Structure 1
Amino acid sequence: KRCGEEGKTGDDVLLMLVLGFPGETPEIPADSAWCWIFPHPPGTMASPAVSPDSSSHEALSSVNSAPACSPTSDSENLSPDELELLAKLEEQNRLLEADSKSMRSMNGSRRNSGSSLVSSSSASSNLSHLEEDTWILWGRIVNEWDEWRKKKEKLLKELIRKGIPHHFRAIVWQLLCSATDMPVKNQYSELLKMSSPCEKLIRRDIARTYPEHEFFKGQDSLGQEVLFNVMKAYSLVDREVGYCQGSAFIVGLLLMQMPEEEAFCVFVRLMQEYRLRELFKPSMAELGLCIYQFEYMLQEQLPELNIHFRSQSFLTSMYASSWFLTLFLTTFPLPVATRVFDIFMYEGLEIVFRVGMALLQFNQAELVQLDMEGMSQYFQKVIPHQFDSCPDKLILRAFQVKYNPKKMKR
């Protein structure tokens, strides 16, 4: 639908002590399916009310039996001291997960033993210290941004792969895409006074963007109004692209983190510098290229699954188009999708290829047993919630995927 070598400092030690603390965003309940490109409402996907069948249980079991959350592949380039600190951080990560599970257990039961309360209190205390250290560290990163980008790039990348804390996402995303001082920001208020030929399409679609999220719920909600403003403004500054449905999901996520003027600037930068504009052009030639490149990876790395897909006429575009067009925002619940988006802001579209291939690796054994209809249901109802409890498992597997940028360019 269109219209250099780093020396160890106190900051380095603090960095490693808090690395791994995931940012948090609200989880959104699910709604009805739309179509194959956007099989579920944005950020929610499979309904929690759906009872997985036996294949669902097997798939979740296979994911849960994967290696525990651990540092991503770039940690191999860190020094022995940094690796030791990373290992300590993994213990902190386990505390975070244990605390989360403990709280869920307490909320789901009327009776709790005293020991469970003590355990939860202890974990929460440790978590509180970790949160404080995280605030200190990310505050320093933001204030010393140029130095971190130039002299501590490996550590910054590792931090981002572990998740940007929620309250820092707005400024960090702007810094990552160099959107903090853009001339187009001064044009925003004037653009809102103009009319766009895409207005009717935008109005029709914004009600379907994060429909269960409080910020966007209701026709007269502030969220829907600012989403309309940003989409309309962009359609005026880039008349070739105008408006494309998938882009509203990305802008919606930005608006959850920052004011509309800043969201507009970030979106302009993403379109210009992150290949998104090419994806959303009327011809969608870039999307076709991404699908072709992903098929090449599938054929090379998972030949058995590739043969099965072909035998069932299960086209790559049927399940992967929304991955590229919405950056998994219409695939995973928001807490998981936002983790992927953090990495996208630093590393670009490569993370979409990596996460997509990781999903197929995790689920190959189940998928090869299903026909086309079964696979369709599996992608919609099972895959979206496999990593709710530990997104790090997905991120870890994604960075184990073989990805050759030179081959992709060819």
Structure 2
Amino acid sequence: MMCIFYDSHFMLNVMTEQPQRATSVSLCWRQSRLKPADKRRVSPQQEPMKDSSVPSCPQRAQPAGKRRNLEFEPLSTTALILEDRPSNLPAKSTEETQRHKLEYEEMVAGAKRRELKEAQRKKRQMKERHRQEDSISNAMVTWNTEILPHWDSMCGTRRVRELWWQGLPPSVRGRVWSLAIGNELNITPELYEIFLSRAKEKWRSYSETSSVNDSESDGGASLADRESSLDLIKLDISRTFPSLFIFQKGGPYHDLLHSVLGAYTCYRPDIGYVQGMSFIAAVLILNLEEAEAFITFANLLNKPCQMAFFRVDHELMLKYFAAFEIFFEENLPRLFSHFQTNSLTPDLYLIDWIFTLYSKSLPLDVACRVWDVFCRDGEESLFRTGLGILRLYEDVLLQMDFIHIAQFLTRLPEDLQSHTLFNAMASTHMISRNRRWAQVFSALMKDGNKEADKNTSPALRS
């Protein structure tokens, strides 16, 4: 019995002493690793409980004047360069200590310079933002009080065109677009409601019979019928401005966009739904009421250039490409030659730009500026915008091959600024041999296919 009692007592002492030793070692290690700045940041609740049974860690005396009254206390490991080495390592020499002090001071000075530079940048940004807000506010007053009430007599004046080029205030943008595009089709809000009700009925019957049609269909349905289907519209809506999260399922504009696109497929069954329409409709919905957005959407797609592309009129599209390349060669001869060398035809990048009016390729705010000028100048501005993009990135594109050029132009940089693009567009001259865009295009139409055949794209031939 005494032996058992002695063994148990001995094991208990061993078990109680081991955690104390571990705690002592752990505390000593943590305290030796803390910098003075770290110790000040430890809250009372985080301080370890002092135990008289735990031996305290030996503290080294701090050299006089070391790290005192520092104006800049970094939150990183920058100041570790000033620390003495652990006692088990050779101490720093005086020269090394002085060198480390100079290095630390240079790091602190560099950090301060960066902070000052960042503060100055933010100050400039804020100043520019205030200037833009004042400019937009003044322009909004001008548009609302002087221009819009007298639209017919004012819209073509030089002053209004200059204001237009500078960008429309967001509060009047939708109304100006609507007036500029017009309503040649004489669509009324009541007519929109009629086609919307037809679309809803069509979708109901489609959902009821989709399983039967899927099993019986032999693939003979027309292209318009296939592309006006609910499935394709739903799929395209989900991919429309996905970063905004407002047109996707459950978003505030999902049903609205669905309604406008569905009504249009019933209004123009000969065209149906074509991929890319959702981006145009979405931009209009962001700036106009539902019925007005539909009216503007239908009239916009009825313009000759948009009709040629959405009907996939190959012959007419080739003439647009031929006209574009005439101005491309005159404005950017080096890049034009580089594209020719790499067999890069306009359809590889222009189709996507024209189909969505740049709303998919450019940042939304920049795309809206492009739309402003499109409503002012018509189809010419679309190709001028394309030349502006090519001019802006000419030096980059000259270093790329076919694959990289196509990828770059499909997905333009997200940091593209409107003022840089419009400066490039302003430097682009839409005059060829004393002929403007409309005259060049008209001449190509009269000449038939001779000019277009020279620029026939393999993609369009297929």
Pairwise TM-score range, normalised by the shorter structure:
0.5 to 0.7
Q: 2:152 aligns with which of 105, 126, 146?
A: 146
Q: 1:135 aligns with which of 97, 115, 140?
A: 140
**Matches of 2:127 and 2:356, distance apart in 1:** 39
Is the CA contact (8 Å cut-off) linking 2:257 and 2:281 kept in structure 1?
A: yes
Q: Given residue 442 of structure 2, which amino acid in structure 1 is its aligned partner? A: K
CA displacement at 1:239 relative to structure 2: 1.4
Is the CA contact (8 Å cut-off) linking 1:336 and 1:387 kept in structure 2?
A: yes
**Matches of 2:437 and 2:276, distance apart in 1:** 27
**Matches of 2:177 and 2:251, distance apart in 1:** 25
Give a deviation string over 1:24-58, Cα, whole Å, max 9, x none.
xxxxxxxxxxxxxxxxxxxxxxxxxxxxxxxxxxx
Q: 1:281 aligns with which of 295, 306, 311?
A: 311
Q: Given residue 321 of structure 1, which amino acid in structure 2 is its aligned partner? A: I
Aligned pairs for 1:310-349 (under 5 A) are 310-349=340-379
Q: 2:282 aligns with which of 232, 252, 272?
A: 252
Q: 1:202 aligns with which of 213, 225, 233?
A: 233
Tell me if 1:406 matches 2:406: no
Q: How many residues align?
A: 299
Provide the residue aligned with 1:215 in structure 2: 246
Q: Greater shift after overlay, 179-188 or 284-293?
A: 179-188
Q: Given residue 204 of structure 1, which amino acid in structure 2 is its aligned partner? A: L
- Distance of aligned partners of 1:179 and 1:247 in 2 relative to their CA distance in 1, 3 Å threshold: same
- Distance of aligned partners of 1:283 and 1:377 in 2 relative to their CA distance in 1, 3 Å threshold: closer
Tell me if 1:268 matches 2:298: yes
Larger Rg: 2
Aligned pairs for 1:53-202 (under 5 A) are 129-140=134-145, 141-149=147-155, 153-179=157-183, 182-194=186-198, 195=202, 197=225, 198=228, 199-202=230-233
Is the CA contact (8 Å cut-off) linking 2:380 and 2:437 kept in structure 1?
A: no
- Distance of aligned partners of 1:388 and 1:129 in 2 relative to their CA distance in 1, 3 Å threshold: closer
Is the CA contact (8 Å cut-off) linking 1:351 and 1:398 kept in structure 2?
A: no
- Distance of aligned partners of 1:392 and 1:146 in 2 relative to their CA distance in 1, 3 Å threshold: same
Per the alignment, in what secondary structure is the counterpart of residue 393 of structure 2?
helix
Give a deviation string over 1:220-258, Cα, whole Å, max 9, x none.
323221111111111111111111112211111001111
**Matches of 1:359 and 1:124, distance apart in 2:** 25
Structure 2 stretches lacking a partner, 5+ long: 1-113, 204-224, 444-462
Per the alignment, in what secondary structure is the counterpart of residue 144 of structure 1?
helix
Per the alignment, in what secondary structure is the counterpart of residue 253 of structure 2?
helix
Is the CA contact (8 Å cut-off) linking 1:387 and 1:393 kept in structure 2?
A: no
Tell me if 1:374 matches 2:404: yes
- Distance of aligned partners of 1:349 and 1:312 in 2 relative to their CA distance in 1, 3 Å threshold: same
- Distance of aligned partners of 1:109 and 1:300 in 2 relative to their CA distance in 1, 3 Å threshold: same
Structure 1 stretches lacking a partner, 5+ long: 1-107
**Matches of 1:331 and 1:158, distance apart in 2:** 25
Is the CA contact (8 Å cut-off) linking 2:261 and 2:273 kept in structure 1?
A: yes
Q: Given residue 137 of structure 1, which amino acid in structure 2 is its aligned partner? A: T
Q: Tell me: higher relative CO, structure 1 or 2? Use CA pairs within 8 A at least 6 residues apart.
A: 1
Give a deviation string over 1:142-164, Cα, whole Å, max 9, x none.
12212313xx5222211111111
Is the CA contact (8 Å cut-off) linking 2:387 and 2:425 kept in structure 1?
A: no
Is the CA contact (8 Å cut-off) linking 1:344 and 1:351 kept in structure 2?
A: yes
**Matches of 1:165 and 1:229, distance apart in 2:** 27
Q: Given residue 154 of structure 1, which amino acid in structure 2 is its aligned partner? A: R
Tell me if 1:241 matches 2:239: no
Task: Give the superposed CA RMSD.
Answer: 3.1
**Matches of 1:356 and 1:302, distance apart in 2:** 12
Q: Given residue 215 of structure 1, which amino acid in structure 2 is its aligned partner? A: I
